[in-house]
Copies of this chain bind each other. A is one copy, B any other.
Amino acid sequence: MVDTAGMTPEDLVEIELIKRLKYRYLRGLDQKDWTAVESCFTEDATAAYSGGKYAFESRAEILDFLTRSMGAETFLSSHRCHHPEIDLTSATTAVGTWALEDVVIDTTWDITIRGAAFYTDEYVKEEGVWQIRTTGYKRSYEEIQPRGAVPGLKLTASWWATDGRSMLDA
């Protein structure tokens, strides 16, 4: 555990910028804004998602994985990261832990996947900009559900199919 006793207001600015980096990454995922996602990683970034099941050795590999697995507009996702515990380890490096909750609804396969996990990240600041150098998470749990198993379960909005507008009767 890094000592936080000497934390200063100026440190908080760096921590806020790192939080913003993570939020931009997650928003990029769920809005399929791959240019935004790409901008969050260093070129030599590595990732180990899902306890290392999906492991990658460069930004190009990470982007290839994300766009292939999440690119379809029938893949609707909510990746939310909570509980940032970010420690500055130098003026230009930091480590962070986050608590993830994610939901995926895939209308092509008619499934819902829900899960929770803890992320461990390393960040680096280059030319004044924080980026992710390593990232990865280990799951607390994950579950899959065939959507047809719940009679009457119905999708009523989609960012792409309904332009984000509910089709529920008001």
Q: Enumerate chain A interface residues (CB-CB to B < 8 A).
A: 4-5, 7-13, 15-17, 20, 22-24, 26-27, 30-31, 50-54, 76-78, 80-85, 97, 99, 101, 103, 105, 113, 115-118, 128, 137-146, 149-159, 162-166, 168, 170
Contact = CB atoms under 8 A, between A and B. Distances in A.
A80 B52 contact: no
Given A83-B23, A101-B78, A168 B140 contact: no
Contact of A146 (B15, B23, B141, B152): B152
State the copy count for this chain: 3
A30 B166 contact: no
B149 A51 contact: no
A155 B168 contact: no
A48 to B, nearest CB: 10
Contacts of A128: 5
A166 B12 contact: no
Nearest to A168: B144
